[in-house]
Every structure is written in C-alpha cells, then in structure tokens.
Amino acid sequence: QVQMVESGGGLVQAGGSLNLSCAVSGRIFTEYAMGWFRQAPGKEREFVADITWGGGITEYTDSVKGRFTISKDNAEKTLFLQMNSLKPEDTAVYYCAARPFGAIARDPRGYDSWGQGTQVTVSS
C-alpha cells in the first residue's frame, strides 16, 4: 500500500483560499487514481475530487465545481487540492486517498489507501 500524508489545512475566512497537499510514498501504479474526500462531524465521508495518476483525468462533486481544482506532480509524488471561494459548509477534515481503476470514484469503499486527514475550518 502507498502511504499518504496531508498538509495545508487551517483556518480561513469565507471567500478565501487554501491549497492542500498530499505527499505520497511507496510505489504508485499508473492504473491508480488519487482523490480527496472530506468528513464533517457526524457526517459520512464525502467525495470531493479525484484524478487519474497516469492520464490526469479529473472528476469533481457538484458542490465544488468551479471553486476547487485537483492536480498532481508525478515527479514529486504529490497530490494537490486548490480550494478557492471557500464557504463555511466546506469545513471538514480533508483526506487524500488512492483507488485502483474499476473502483467507483465517489464511493470511499473503493479506496484502499488513506491519509490521516487535515482540518479545514472556514469562518463566516
């Protein structure tokens, strides 16, 4: 299994921006995709975005389209989530994760590697 460590979370005002990073160690197979999920207290873990490692094909949940951008640096083995126009409802712990092709991007049960999470808090 690959190991993943998130960073870049913090406190930001509504309308502000944060850039999350996920450092990946271990062997990354080109057939894998990397994604971001978030979980607020008392809520289920929610899909945010993912990207295929080999081809860079992206997918986003509707609530973040136009505001968040997922990207990667293959050479540095790092995954990013640029978050703009943040809203209080974006407040959650954000996790990076990896899945093989064939797993459903929006279903967390299909991901087999997870980071520890980084807290994002958006104040009004």
pLDDT in tens for each of the 124 residues of the chain? 689 999 999 999 999 999 999 999 987 777 889 999 999 999 999 999 999 988 899 999 999 999 999 999 989 999 999 999 999 999 999 999 999 988 889 999 999 899 999 999 999 9
The DSSP secondary structure of 3-57, one letter per residue, reads EEEEE--EEEETT--EEEEEEEES---TTEEEEEEEE-TTS--EEEEEEETTT--
Q: Which two tokens stand for residue 110?
A: 């299909």
CA pseudo-torsion sign 62, 66, 67, 73: positive
